[in-house]
């Protein structure tokens, strides 16, 4: 592909932010139509439908809006959305190096949206040369808009730079994962298969949580364990510095493209969730967008003894020492 | 005590709401002073202190503000706060039937506040005759104020009645816990003791999460598992209807007093976390504020075959069938 100029990128970024705001407002409108302060007769009709149907309709309507807006403005760009993808017959990885590509989840945190828990958002990623360079995440019930564009910083509500604490950005805790907030998700794969993904996840969660010295030395005694039900917002809060570590398997590129763009621009590190054979010495690979296996570390400043990047890599290895490999297949990635 | 008149209760409620707003603004001011958009020199000074020290200072300052405001306005009322309590030598249960009592956590979600994750709040409960009749919860980084007073409804931001979906309020799912969002917390008790509280909690979480038919028939296949790190906000979101079930052991009355007031006024049910010997037939006891063991069910409307209360009780029993008893001692409760 031809390199995108700085001016073009600025324009695409402004377009993406506006698109995110409008799409988020659509989500909030659909949520609000179910509130008890809406006209009673209107709501009575709505709620006769299964809440899940309302959600599916909203999901599809918002994706159609985003897709058509992009096609009208940038007819040469490729579009990959969660909804259109799900209806296809395969889950092949479709992002190439060739065309600038939009990778969109119209509604991340679908279960939250169904239950009206505020942790839902629209997630818009823009990819050049296979890398997410723009990310826009809008959680309208929280009034939180996260956005980033390569070289232009990462922002909360367009005014607060990310990470929030930045003069200086705190170093990773010396005894990490102790002192860290650990974000993880139970996900949908709950098969009770011996040594299946659910049990591997839970074993990993417990290792990270248990007292130091426990779990045959694997106890990480993290400061807190959090599960929000939105991969996108997990990444956004990691970019903010609120979560130190996010570890997850099973989600898809539309769940993470925008979040990875925001996190990387904020100074975070993203690599693979699955530990290599030699976690203490293996090279730390850059994340592959379609890998379905993600480990994210928050932005970090230097300490007296190591650079920010060294601190992040130390934490990656400490996580790898405590977690199990997960088994998520991915055609074409 | 003498019965509090309706007018008096209205006055106390208005006072509590205003107090919550001012205390929440203090919390947000302290959070904001750590943001990178604050004066750089000022922040550099602040961050030289351990973040934990800043949090402790804020916690104490907010509690002192709330306590002195209450003492000035209602000198005859009793005050129990998390900070003053923690400094005492015992954790005896101090709430009596005799005097109207304020039960306050100046900062719930302390770990979240330390890391600037938005799920923190001030929690103000007002208790008459041993029962929480007013609750005010303000999460300033989320702009969410939850409030309730017995007989006056429960509210989000003073304008949206809780639960949010209410025309009609949805019945509990017929296959619950399937279809339910399950909220739980890992807490601070992470000892790796065989059959200790951490392992009992995790076993219970996995039973609730696993596929139906899994876990020797205990699999609950809940719709989602969430952990926010704030007991108060867990209860607030259960009152909102966003969480269907909250199950927790180990927290204290100042963590739950306001949340229980909001949840009960919204129509929710709160009982004990620990299953009785006969979970299918045992009476469902009212929650004891100081029990440290809580199971909360969201407000529920009737279905074709059962009342809202019957649906809630069915879900209580389904949870009890899947969870382990936890071991949390409580002097004087």
**Tell me, what's the ipTM?**
0.95
B186 contact residues in A (CB cutoff 8 A): 209, 224-225
DSSP letters of A128-182?
Answer: ETTEEEEEEEEETTTTEEEEEETTS-EEETTTEESSS--TTPPPPPTTTTBT-EE
Closest CB to B167: pick one of A40, A167, A219.
A40
A225 with B227: Cβ contact below 8 A: yes
A40 contact residues in B (CB cutoff 8 A): 167
Closest CB to B226: pick one of A36, A166, A227.
A227
B226 contact residues in A (CB cutoff 8 A): 117, 227-229
A7 annotated ligand-binding residue: no
- The torsion defined by the Cα of B154, B113, B271 and B148, in degrees rounded to 10, comes to -10
Closest-CA distance, A138 to chain B, in angstroms, reads 14
B108 annotated ligand-binding residue: yes
Closest CB to A116: pick one of B167, B228, B240.
B240
Q: How far is CA B65 from each of CA B29, B62, B111, rounded to the nearest angstrom?
A: 14, 5, 21
Give domain B181-320's CATH number out of 2.40.240.10, 3.80.10.10, 3.40.190.80, 3.40.50.720.
Answer: 3.40.190.80
Q: Please, are residues B255 and B205 in contact by the beta-carbon 8 Å criterion?
A: no
The tens digit of pLDDT for each residue in B188-236 reads 999 999 999 999 999 999 999 999 999 999 999 999 999 999 999 999 9
A167 with B209: Cβ contact below 8 A: no
B47 with A165: Cβ contact below 8 A: yes
Phi first, then psi: give them for residue A274, nearest 5 degrees.
Answer: -85, 125
A223 with B115: Cβ contact below 8 A: yes
Residue B145: exposed, middle, or buried by beta-carbon count in 10 A (0-12, 13-18, 19+)? Answer: buried
The answer, yes or no, to whether residue A233 has pLDDT greater than 60, is: yes
When the pLDDT of each residue in chain A is averaged and rounded to a whole number, the result is: 92
Euclidean distance between CA atoms A260 and A95, whole angstroms:
15
Closest-CA distance, B58 to chain A, in angstroms, reads 17
A224 contact residues in B (CB cutoff 8 A): 111-112, 115, 186, 229
A224 with B186: Cβ contact below 8 A: yes
Strands A224-226 and A181-184, bridge-based pairing: parallel
A27 annotated ligand-binding residue: no
Mean pLDDT of the A267-294 span? 96
A190 with B214: Cβ contact below 8 A: yes
Euclidean distance between CA atoms B299 and B282, whole angstroms:
21
Q: Which two tokens stand for residue B142?
A: 């989320």
Residues carrying CATH 3.40.190.80, chain B: 181-320
- State the pLDDT at residue A4: 75
CA neighbours closer than 13 Å in the CB half-sphere of residue A115: 30
- State the pLDDT at residue B214: 96
Mean pLDDT of the B95-124 span? 94
Q: Searching chain A, which residue's CA lies closest to the CA of residue B201?
A: A206
- State the pLDDT at residue A87: 66
pLDDT band at B45 (very low <50, low <70, confident <90, very high): very low
Long-range interactions of B80-87: CB distance < 8 A, separation 24+: B80/B104, B80/B253, B80/B254, B81/B105, B81/B106, B81/B254, B82/B106, B82/B107, B82/B252, B82/B254, B82/B255, B83/B59, B85/B252, B85/B254
Strands A293-297 and A245-249, bridge-based pairing: antiparallel
The tens digit of pLDDT for each residue in A144-176 reads 999 999 999 999 999 999 999 998 999 999 999
Bridge partners of residue B183, in order along the sequence? B226, B246
The answer, yes or no, to whether residue B95 has pLDDT greater than 90, is: no
Q: Searching chain B, which residue's CA lies closest to the CA of residue A230?
A: B226
Q: Please, are residues B299 and B265 in contact by the beta-carbon 8 Å criterion?
A: no
List the one residue out of B259, B189, B187, B269 whose CA is nearest residue B228.
B187
- State the pLDDT at residue B53: 79
Q: How far is CA B45 from each of CA A171, B40, B53, rounded to the nearest angstrom?
A: 16, 9, 13
A38 contact residues in B (CB cutoff 8 A): 167
Give domain B6-160's CATH number out of 3.30.540.10, 3.30.470.20, 3.30.2040.10, 3.30.1330.10.
Answer: 3.30.540.10
Q: Please, are residues A217 and A281 in contact by the beta-carbon 8 Å criterion?
A: no
- In the numeric block, the tokens 């990656």 are attached to A316
Q: Searching chain B, which residue's CA lies closest to the CA of residue A139?
A: B142
Query: Which of A39, A190, A204 should we substitute to test contact with B (largest number of B Cβ atoms within 10 Å)?
Result: A190
B52 contact residues in A (CB cutoff 8 A): none
B34 contact residues in A (CB cutoff 8 A): 164-165
C-alpha angle A20/A269/A230, rounded to 5°?
45
Residue pairs between chains A and B whose CB atoms are closer than 8 Å: 170
Q: Searching chain B, which residue's CA lies closest to the CA of residue A218?
A: B192
DSSP letters of A186-225?
Answer: --S-----TT-HHHHHHHHHHHHHSPTTTGGGT---BSEE
Cis amide leading into B163 (omega within 30): yes
B223 with A186: Cβ contact below 8 A: no
pLDDT band at B50 (very low <50, low <70, confident <90, very high): low
Return the CATH fold of A6-161.
Fructose-1,6-Bisphosphatase; Chain A, domain 1 (3.30.540)
Euclidean distance between CA atoms A7 and A19, whole angstroms:
18
Closest-CA distance, B299 to chain A, in angstroms, reads 13
B107 annotated ligand-binding residue: yes
The tens digit of pLDDT for each residue in A118-129 reads 999 999 999 999
Q: Please, are residues B83 and B56 in contact by the beta-carbon 8 Å criterion?
A: no
- The torsion defined by the Cα of B56, B102, B125 and B106, in degrees rounded to 10, comes to -10
Closest-CA distance, A321 to chain B, in angstroms, reads 18
Closest CB to B164: pick one of A35, A163, A228.
A35
Closest CB to B215: pick one of A47, A192, A215.
A192
Residues carrying CATH 3.30.540.10, chain A: 6-161
Q: Residue A267, Cβ neighbours under 10 Å: how many?
A: 22
The answer, yes or no, to whether residue B274 has pLDDT greater than 60, is: yes
The answer, yes or no, to whether residue A313 has pLDDT greater than 60, is: yes
CB contact burial A31-55 (16+ within 10 A = b; e otherwise) = bbebbbebeeeebeebbeeebeebb
Closest-CA distance, B9 to chain A, in angstroms, reads 26
Mean pLDDT of the B173-182 span? 97
């Amino acid at each position: 592909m031809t390199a995108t100029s700085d001016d073009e990128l600025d324009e695409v970024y402004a377009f993406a932010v506006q698109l995110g705001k409008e799409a988020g407002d659509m989500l909030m409108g659909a949520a609000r139509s179910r509130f008890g302060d809406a006209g009673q007769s209107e709501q009575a009709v709505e709620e006769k439908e299964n809440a899940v149907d309302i959600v599916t309709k909203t999901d599809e309507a918002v994706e159609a809006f985003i897709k058509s807006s992009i096609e009208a403005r940038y007819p040469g760009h490729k579009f990959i959305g969660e909804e259109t993808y799900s209806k296809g017959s395969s889950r092949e990885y479709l992002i190439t190096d060739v065309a600038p590509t939009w990778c969109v989840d119209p509604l991340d945190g679908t279960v939250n949206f169904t239950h009206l828990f505020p942790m839902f958002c629209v997630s818009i990623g823009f990819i050049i040369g296979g890398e997410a360079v723009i990310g826009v995440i809008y959680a309208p019930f929280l009034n939180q808009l996260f956005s980033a564009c390569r070289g232009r910083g990462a922002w909360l509500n367009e005014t607060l730079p990310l990470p929030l604490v930045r003069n200086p950005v705190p170093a990773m805790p010396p005894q990490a994962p102790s002192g860290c907030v650990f974000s993880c998700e139970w996900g949908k794969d709950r098969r009770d298969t011996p040594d299946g993904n659910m049990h591997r996840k839970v074993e990993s969660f417990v290792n990270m949580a248990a007292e130091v010295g426990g779990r045959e030395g694997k106890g990480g005694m993290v400061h807190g364990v959090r599960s929000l039900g939105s991969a996108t917002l997990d990444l956004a809060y990691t970019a903010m510095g609120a979560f130190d570590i996010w570890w997850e398997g099973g989600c898809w590129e539309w769940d993470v493209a925008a979040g990875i763009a925001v996190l990387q621009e904020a100074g975070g590190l993203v690599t693979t969730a699955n530990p290599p054979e030699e976690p203490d010495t293996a090279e730390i690979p850059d994340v592959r967008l379609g890998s379905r296996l993600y480990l994210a570390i928050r932005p970090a400043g230097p300490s007296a003894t190591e650079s920010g990047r060294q601190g992040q890599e130390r934490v990656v290895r400490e996580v790898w020492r405590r977690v199990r490999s997960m088994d998520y297949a991915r055609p074409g990635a």
